[in-house]
Amino acid sequence: MRERFVGRSGLAVSALGLGTASWGRDVDEHEARDLLTTFLDAGGTLLDTGASYGAGTAESVLGAVLADIPRDDVILVTKAGAPTRTGRPGTSRGALLGTLDASLGRLGVDTVDLWLVQRWDPQVPSEETLAAMEHAVTTGRTRYVGVANHNGWQTAYVHTRQAMRETGAPIVADQVEYSLVNRTAEAEVLPAADALGFGVIAWSALGRGVLTGKYRHGVVPSDSRAASDHLAGFVEPYLQGSAPSVVEGVCRAADGLGLSPAEVALAWIRDRPAVASALVGPRTAAQLKGLLTVEDVVLPDEIVSALDDVSAEAG
């Protein structure tokens, strides 16, 4: 699998990243091990998790399946910053560093490769959050830092403030939702990435699963996310509005090219400007194998243009 640098940093990651948000709940340890083996065998490196995923369960499962994997074979990304159980801000120095230490323990490692503050919190001075990120780098807890779910001006603000501090912990990435059914990142985040040199990691690159085509014609498969009690609300926004017409456009392109809808959608997002890696979250190794074939897919320019047009309302 091809690798790319995250922005203008020296951090190289695989063009597809393996998301673990459902590990420990929808994906058990046996399935997780199969997913990891399949991903690594295909040359994948980026493994994305977060302290808030299942209240740490995802990190624990990932740590268990990583136990026999050479540390240098993977790029570990985790996140902190969600509100604490007491409702206090999660981006304070104490909350951030405490959460990071707990993540390292669950993952069974001394350091992660990229640590992201996953939300903008106006209750905490940015200087405090940035100082905690710098401390995490200087103490060896993480090699790089970034943010997640920050819009363009928020990312530009923390990136610039960190640069003004002249620290050794620049903001190298913003992880945001980005796909053919959600192109809002193009309004601010991608232009800011181009101007400032940070990279974009796209989560839910398959539009929360709808870009696989599985929900066409209003059909909700019984084993899908949209049919589950805890994820139905997550998928539902993309079963209405302009999303179904985008999905139809992707499926038509896939039929014409002899590809799957998922391959078309992933190839489109993978090759967008500033995108370092696109995250996928399959629940089985068989699903993952069906996505990894995108490595050899290059969309014709006219197809890219058509997809841009049909998905314009998602921007």
pLDDT at 296 over 80: yes
pLDDT for 218 equals 67
Q: Which residues pair with 202 in a beta bridge?
A: 176, 278
Q: What is the average pLDDT across 4-21?
A: 97
pLDDT digits (tens, 9 = 90+) for 131-184: 999 999 999 999 999 999 999 999 999 999 999 888 889 999 999 999 999 999
pLDDT at 249 over 60: yes
pLDDT for 227 equals 43
> 53, 144, 178, 238: which is the annotated catalytic residue?
53
The H or E element containing residue 171 is strand 171-177
Residue-range domain boundaries for the chain: 3-206+272-298
Q: What does the block give as tokens for 307?
A: 């997809």
pLDDT for 89 equals 79
Residue 35 CA to chain centroid, in angstroms? 16
Share of the chain above pLDDT 70, in %: 93
The yes/no answer on whether domain 3-206+272-298 falls in CATH 3.20.20.100 is yes
The number of C-alpha atoms within 13 Å of 57 and in the hemisphere containing its C-beta is 13
Q: How confident is the model at residue 63 (pLDDT cuts 50, 70, 90)?
A: very high
Residue whose token pair is 């990894």 = 292
pLDDT at 222 over 60: no
In the residue annotation, 53 being an active-site residue is answered as: yes
User: From CA 58, how far away is CA 119, in angstroms rounded?
Assistant: 19
Average pLDDT, the chain: 93
User: From CA 63, how far away is CA 193, in angstroms rounded?
Assistant: 31
pLDDT digits (tens, 9 = 90+) for 89-101: 799 999 999 999 9
pLDDT at 232 over 80: no
pLDDT at 226 over 60: no
pLDDT for 167 equals 83
pLDDT at 225 over 80: no
- According to DSSP, the β-strands at 275-280 and 199-203 are parallel
Share of the chain above pLDDT 90, in %: 85
